[in-house]
Each structure stands twice: as C-alpha cells, then as structure tokens.
Structure 1
Amino acid sequence: MSRTNIAPKHRELIGTGVHAVLWDMDGTLVDTEPYWFRAETLLTAEYGVAWSHEQAAALVGNSLPTSAAILREAGVDLDIRQIIDALVDSVVTQVREVVPWRPGAREMLAEIRDAGIPCVMVTMSERKLASEIHRLLPSGTFEFVISGDMVERGKPDPQPYDLAVERLSASREDLSRDRIVAIEDSLPGLASAKAAGVVTLGVPNMVALPDGPGHTLWPSLEGRGLADLGRLLGAA
C-alpha cells in the first residue's frame, strides 16, 4: 500500500514512528503452547517417559532442535529430526481442528497492516506449521515468515530477528531497529529480540516474564493498538 493512498484516519498512526512489527507465533499470535504440551506428552508416553507440565513449560520459546534434544535425553528413543517431525505433525493436526487465536492479536495485526506498516512472523516453529497459521489470515498480513528451519541458530540467539530486519531492509532503506517492535511471549524470544536491537514487547502467556531492562510487559494485546506500540519507542 502506498502512503499516498492511506486513509486519513491512518496517517496519524503512521506518525507514531513504528517502521515494522515482528510477531512471534506460538503463544503470541496463537495460543498453541497447550498443543505443544499435548504433543510432547503423547510422544513421551509412547516411550514410557514421565513428562510434567513444568518440563513442558521449560521448552517454551526454544528452537525445535533444542527441545527435541531435551526430549531425546529424557528418554524418547528417536533421532532429533524424527522427534521434530512427530511434534510438528501433532500440532498441525490440532491446529486444523481449532485455531486458538490470542486475544487482540488479529485486531492489532489488521490495524497495523491497514496503516501500511509491514509485519513479519518470526517463529521457531517450522514452515509446515507457520504456513497453516499464515494461510488463515488475510492476504498480505505478513510480508514474509522467518521460521525455525530457516536459521542455524534459533532463539534466544538474535539470528531470527536479524534475518527478518535484513530482509525488510532490502526493500526499505529507511528502516531503523529502534523503530521496529518485536512481540514475544517467552524468555528465549525476549532475549533474541533484545539482542537484535529492536524494541521488545513481552506479552506473557504460559510462562511468566520478569520485569527488566530492555523490554516492556503488557498483560494482553486486547484493547491495544498501533498508537500503543508507537509509545513504546519513546519508552525504549
């Protein structure tokens, strides 16, 4: 969308100074963490491995190879790729039955895109699952998707967010990291976004997030909008 064609009510929102918004998926855009917990519980049960809610919560936000390695160490007698495939297939099956959107997420996405501001999905899930969610949103909601199988080092490493910013910058020379907002629900995600130098917003879901330097916490996206994201730039 060219800026000359933006409706008057959106010009004020663009004046908030937000250059782009980077979205985590699991737990931030969609509440799929319970689906991952169920997938892990079913898989570990096949191998007689006890798997607690606390163990599942400890994997939230990690890259899939990291999570798979922990499950393998716990006693799941499969190789890393087999564990990842089993988990992803299970979650995809559950998503196809019910998509658990997080409160306020789709509304905020729509407002940002209506204002002509690019959004990118940055997830540690693989493309197979990310594509299931992406296809359910209006065309053009996301400029592109950065998935876990596109990077060598997943969150908490900054590589996923660095890659998103680099790809956006290829077509938008005026992008500034201190005007790009990342929205996350996990500790690894917060660490990744902050290390990449973007403005970082935490919205806790399954795991509590601590107060601390370099990020802002909101209890929910419900009732929030682009103007609220713009105010984070000054706070950062």
Structure 2
Amino acid sequence: MAAGLMATLRAVIFDFDGVIADDERLHLAGFRQALASHGIEISEAEYFARYVGYDDHDGFVEMLRDHGREVDEKTISDLMRRKARAFRELVRERVTIYPGVRRLLDDLRRPPGAVATGIGSGALRGEVELVLSIAGLSGLFDAIVCADEVERSKPDPQTYLRVVERLSAVCPGLMPSECVVIEDTHAGLQAARRAGIATIAVTNSYPAAELDADLVVGSLEELSRERCRSLVSEGR
C-alpha cells in the first residue's frame, strides 16, 4: 500500500474452535479418548494452558513428547483418526455456537458496505463443515482454510495468509492490511500478527489480561462491522 493511504476493511476472518463453536471441550474429550490406549491423561487445565491452538497433528506430537513417549508419524496418524472419529460422534450429540456469531455475520455481510468473511482454523475441514451444517451456518463464509490444507499450523501465519489469498476471489487484490482476524488463543493471535492482520481477541478461552490483541472483547455480541472497520481505518 502506498505511503499515506489508509486501509479499508474488506474482510473479517474468524478462527473456528473457541470463536464460532464452543467445542474446545469436545476436542479435549476426543484427545482423551484417543490417548487412553497410550495410558496418557490430559487434564482440562493442562489442555487449555498447553495445547489449545495446536492443530491435531502438532497437538498429539506435543502431548506424546510431554509424557515421555516416542513420536512417529504412524502413531500420530492413528491417534488423529481415533480423535476425529470420537469428535464427530460427540459433536452430533451436542454443539453450541457462541452468542453473537449469526448477528455479526449478518452485519458484516449486509449491503451496502458488505465485507467478505472467512475462516482460518486449526481443525480439520470435515469437522468445521459438520459443525457449520448442524448450526445452520453453511454458506456464510467466502473462504475456509483448515489444518489439513496447510503445511504449517498456527502460530505460523500460513493459515491466515492462505485465507486472504482465497478471499481474493471475491475481493480482488485483497491485502492483509485490509483484514481483521478474530481469535481466542495465543498461537492464533501470533499467526495473525505475523500475517500483518489486525487482531481481535475474544475471552472464551483465556482472560483478557493474557491476550495480546489490538482489541479484546468478552463476546462477539460486542462487535459490529463498524467496530471491526475502526481497527483498520485507524491504522496500527
């Protein structure tokens, strides 16, 4: 962007677990079921302090290492299959969408002045699409990038940079500086910052004092298109 020109908000990108879907504890239950055969137990406190923000592959790698187990790709692949199967069963029984999600999406996408919407998630695409379908949110996102579509997971910026790239199909020439990311984890916020994108943190997984973002809110109900736009138009 040329010096002196002010960016305009053109896209808002959401993390998924912990931002749209209140399903982190379902993921924890899936991890626990998969790890049971290895004699590993993960407490809720340990999960939120240590592993939230990793995709399944890297999460299992860290869990095995932290508990003194050998790490190999065959074991990781087996654990991922077990966890994915358990998660699908759990999410069909109970899935909750955070308050304010649908209202914010409607506000962002309402003309005139509509902005594009995307998802950049550390979950598997099949899991994200399943939850969106159950929640009646399918079709409300212009681009989705998930863990099985990138080579490097958060906190690497690849996920968010790829969402920006795909959103360019509906927003030609879209730049990271014209976007805002909504996140709930440290790794996700770091990924967005590394991608050069303004950040909003929601306190669904961590208290406000622990979140480093351009704006911290307690709920998506506090957000609007204009509030997102202010982060871009004010510059950072």
TM-score range (shorter-chain normalised) is 0.7 to 0.9
TM-superposed CA distance for 1:197, in Å, is: 0.6
- In 2, are the aligned partners of 1:44 and 1:76 still within 8 Å (CA)? no
Taking only aligned residues, the RMSD between alpha carbons, in angstroms, comes to 2.2
Is 2:101 aligned against 1:105?
yes
Identify if the C-alpha distance between structure 1 residues 20 and 165 changes in structure 2 by more than 3 Å, giving closer, same or farther.
Answer: same
Q: How far apart, in 1, do the equivalents of 2:34 and 2:138 lie?
A: 35
Residue aligned with 1:21, SS: strand
Distance 2:139 2:92 in 1: 21
**Alpha-carbon distance change, 219 to 43 in structure 1, aligned in 2, over 3 angstroms:** same
Quote the offset at 1:139 in angstroms. Answer: 4.9
Equivalent residues of 1:203, 1:218 under 8 A apart: yes
Q: Is the 8 A contact 1:29 1:106 kept in 2?
A: no
The question of 1:117 aligning with 2:109 is answered no
Question: Which of 27, 47, 56 in structure 2 is aligned with 1:64?
Answer: 56
Structure 1, unaligned runs of 5 or more:
1-15
Equivalent residues in 2 for 1:86-101, closer than 5 Å: 86-101=82-97
Secondary structure of the structure 1 residue equivalent to 2:159: helix
Q: Deviations over 1:36-67 (max 9, x none)?
A: 12222233333322322232111111122110
Q: How far apart are the structure 1 equivalents of 2:70 and 2:220?
A: 37
| 8 Å CA contact retained: 1:72, 1:79 | no
* CA deviation string 1:60-106 (max 9, x = no partner): 11122110112333359971111112222222222112221112122
Quote the residue 2:12 is aligned against.
21
Q: Which of 35, 45, 53 in structure 2 is aligned with 1:54?
A: 45
Equivalent of 1:39 in 30, 35, 53: 30
**Displacement after TM superposition at 1:218 (Å):** 1.1
**Residue 142 (structure 2) pairs with residue 143 (structure 1):** yes
Partner Cα distance (1:138, 1:53) in 2? 28
Q: Give the conservation status (yes or no) of the 8 Å contact 1:60–1:186.
A: yes
- Using the TM superposition, give the Cα deviation of residue 124 of structure 1 relative to its aligned residue in structure 2, in angstroms: 0.7
Alpha-carbon separation, structure 2, partners of 1:93 and 1:175 = 38
Moved more, 150-159 or 47-56: 47-56
2:81 matched to 1:85?
A: yes
8 Å Cα contact 2:11/2:178 also seen in 1: yes
Of the structure 1 ranges 93-102 and 144-153, higher mean CA displacement relative to structure 2 is found in 93-102
* Partner Cα separation in structure 2 for residue 72 and residue 80 of structure 1: 9
Shift of 1:168: 1.7
Identical counterparts, % of pairs: 27
Equivalents in 2 of 1:68, 1:121: separation in Å? 23
Distance 1:205 1:79 in 2: 31
CA distance in 2, matches of 1:89, 1:207: 27
**Contact 2:104 2:223 survives alignment (8 Å):** yes
Q: What count of residue pairs does the alignment treat as equivalent? A: 220
**Structure 1 counterpart of 2:19, one-letter code:** T
**Preserved CA contact (<8 Å) 1:29 1:101:** yes
Equivalent residue letter for 1:61:
G
Contact kept in structure 1, 2:122 and 2:147, CA below 8 Å: yes
Partner of 1:198: 197
Checking the alignment, whether the CA contact within 8 Å between 1:47 and 1:76 is kept in structure 2 is no
Larger CA deviation: 86-95 vs 130-139: 130-139
